[in-house]
Amino acid sequence: MKTPTSNEIRIAVQVLQALSERFQTNATDRVLHLSESSAGEHQTACIESRPLERSGRINDVIAQLNDWKETLRESRGIRV
């Protein structure tokens, strides 16, 4: 497997950030459409927790990509 370029890492980070934002937007839209019933409250809690978990995992991957980018920069002796 070939080492990604700095541009490829940057694009991957941007895609992951957009995905995280999309999860949040979709969850917000779904919450707004739920009724005020007790079942609605339970569903709301579930809907709100999933995007937070996913965003947390996505942020972990973004941090790993940024660490990798920094490591590549240092090993190449150039700005990545």
Q: What is the DSSP letter of 2?
A: P
Whether the CB-CB separation of 31 and 44 falls below 8 Å is answered with yes
1 falls within a domain:
no
User: What pLDDT, in 10s, does the model give residues 30-41?
Assistant: 777 775 555 666
Indicate the Cα dihedral angle 37, 41, 44, 46, nearest 10°.
Answer: -130
The pTM of the full predicted model, rounded to 2 decimals, is 0.72
49 falls within a domain:
yes
56 falls within a domain:
yes
25 falls within a domain:
yes
Residue 48 belongs to domain spanning? 6-75
Tell me the percentage of the chain whose pLDDT exceeds 70: 80
Which residue is it, tokens 């070939």? Answer: 2
Quote the number of domains for the chain: 1
- Categorise residue 77: left if φ over 0, alpha if ψ from -120 to 50, beta otherwise: left
